[in-house]
Structure 1
Amino acid sequence: MVRKKAGLMFVTVAMSALLLILGGTVLAQETPADNMQIVFEKIKADKKLFVAENMQLSETEAKAFWPVYESYQDELFLLRTRTLALIRAYKDAYQTMTDETAKKLLDEYMIIEKLRPQLREAYLPKFRKVLPDIKVLRYYQIENKVGAVTDHALGAHIPLIKTGKK
C-alpha cells in the first residue's frame, strides 16, 4: 500500500511539473499571478511530501535535512525557470526557426545542461554534512527519478525542429 501511494505521489509530482512547464505559457497569460503562485506552491508541496515519504529520515536527520533541501530547491527552481524560458523561446520560434535562433537556443540549452550537475555537485557536501551517505544517495536517486519522468514527458510533448528536408 505504501509503495502504491508513493508511486501515485511520484506521478502527481512529475505531472505537476510537466503541467507547469508545458502549460506555463498559457497559464501565465490567462491566470492571475495569485493563481500561478498557488500552482507553484502546490507543486513544491507535492514534491516535498514525496521526498518526505521516501527519505526515511529520523527526527534529528529531518531537522538538519529540510533547510538544505529548501535551499537546493530554490536553486533548482532558478534552473527550471531558465528551462521554461528556453521552451517558450523554442515554441515561439518553432515555425520560423533560423540557424541564428537555433544557435542561441542550443547555446542556452548547453549552459543549462552544464549547470544541473554543477548544482548537484555543489550541494553534495551540504547534504553529506547533515545525512549519512546512504541517505544522500537515496535523496539524489529520488531527485533523479522525478527529473527522469519529467524529462520523458517533456520529450514526448516537444516536437523535433523542422529542418526543411524530407
Structure 2
Amino acid sequence: MKKQLLAICIFLMALSGIKAQNSDQEIDLISSILKSEIKVFFAQNMKLSTTDTETFWRIYDEFEQALKPLSHQRINLLKEIIKKEGALSDTEVDEKIALLYKTQKSRLALRIKYYKKIKKELGISVAAQFYQIDSYIFTQVAASINESIPMFGPQKK
C-alpha cells in the first residue's frame, strides 16, 4: 500500500509548484491525473470479489462526482492562500480557517454517506476498506499540500 502511495506523494510534490497564476486548465489536468492515480490505488488495495467489483466502482464513481465540488472549493481556497503567500489579515485567516473546516467537515460527511451506501450494498468488509483507503489517501494528500503551502503569517508591507 505504501509503495503505491509513494507515487501519489511524488506527484503531489510536483503539484506543490502550483502557483495562483496557474490556469484552471492546468489545475484540472493535475486533478485529473491525481484522480486516476487514486483510483489505481483503490483498485490495487481493495479486496473485491468478482461479483462486488461492478457495484463498488459504480458507487465509487458516484462518490467521485459528489466530491468534485468540494475539491474545487478546496483548490480555490488554497490558490487564494498561495497567491497571498500566507500573508493574510486576521479576518482573512479566520475566514480561510472557517472555510477549510467547512470543506473538511463536508468531505468527511460525504465519506460517511458513501461508507453507509457501500455497507448496505456490499457489506461492512468492503465498506471498511473503502473508508480506510479513502481516509489514508486524504490524510497523505492533505499532508503533502500542507507542506507545500505557505504558513499563515503577518501581512507583508
Give the gaps of 5 or more residues in structure 1: 1-5
Aligned partners of 2:89, 2:33: CA distance in 1, in Å? 38
When normalised by structure 2's length, the TM-score is 0.82
Matched, 1:134 2:125: yes
For 1:124, the equivalent position in structure 2 comes to 115
> Cα deviation per residue 1:11-47 (whole Å; 9 max; x = unaligned)?
2234435644752645427xxx3x6555433322221
CA RMSD of aligned residues (A): 2.5
Partner in structure 2 of residue 3 of structure 1? none
Q: Is residue 18 of structure 2 the alignment partner of residue 23 of structure 1?
A: yes
How far residue 94 of structure 1 moved from its aligned partner, in angstroms, is: 3.5
1:51 aligns with 2:46: no
Residues paired across the two proteins, number:
155
Task: From the superposition, tell whether residues 134 and 114 of structure 1 become closer, same or farther in structure 2 (CA, over 3 Å).
Answer: same
Q: Residues 24 and 71 from structure 1, CA distance in 2 versus in 1: closer, same or farther, beyond 3 angstroms?
A: farther
Identical columns (%): 19
Choose which of 2, 7, 10 in structure 2 pairs with 1:12.
7
> Which of 149, 156, 166 is the equivalent residue of 2:140?
149
Q: Which aligned runs of 4 or more in structure 1 are off by greater than 6 angstroms?
A: none
Q: What amino acid does structure 2 have at the position aligned with 1:28?
A: S
Counterpart amino acid of residue 8 in structure 2:
V
In structure 2, list runs of 5 or more residues that go unmatched. Answer: none
Partner secondary structure for residue 84 of structure 2:
helix
Structure 1 length normalisation: TM-score?
Answer: 0.78
Given residue 8 of structure 1, which amino acid in structure 2 is its aligned partner?
K
Deviations along 1:45-99, one digit per CA (max 9) or x if unpaired, are 2211111111111111001110100111122232221111111111223465212
AA aligned to 1:136 is A
Give yes or no for contact 2:86–2:150 (8 Å, CA) kept in 1. Answer: no
Pick the structure with more helix per residue.
1
Q: How many angstroms apart in 1 are the aligned matches of 2:146 and 2:137?
A: 14
Quick check: which has more Rg, 1 or 2? 1
Q: Which amino acid aligns with 1:59?
A: T
Select 1:100's aligned residue among 91, 96, 120. Answer: 91
